[in-house]
Amino acid sequence: MMGWYHDGMGWGGWIVMTVAMVAFWALVVFAVLALFRTQRPGGSTPDRRDPMQILDERFARGEIDEDEYHARSSVLRASVH
């Protein structure tokens, strides 16, 4: 029974245990947030394409004809300057 009260972890052990506990709960919170972020309708990142790219894609898919493409393209180019 000798040294009964002196075989504890000491300050270093308490510090490591505290840091480990904070890291564990931070990981749990991060995992929960990541889970809910990916389940949002509409995806997790907004679509940030250039308007000219969208116009080019619509023209390539045949959604708009050549005249409409050129008219909208000139409007977009004029609004940039």
* Per-residue confidence (pLDDT) for residue 1, from 0 to 100: 47
Q: Which residue has the higher pLDDT, 43 or 16?
A: 16
Interval 24-77: pLDDT, tens: 999 999 999 988 887 666 555 556 788 899 999 999 999 999 999 999 999 988
| CA 76 – CA 52 distance, rounded (Å) | 7
Global confidence as pTM: 0.41
Is the pLDDT reported for residue 4 higher than 60? no
| CA 64 – CA 57 distance, rounded (Å) | 10
pLDDT band, very low/low/confident/very high, at 11 (cuts 50, 70, 90): confident
Tokens of 48: 């940030």
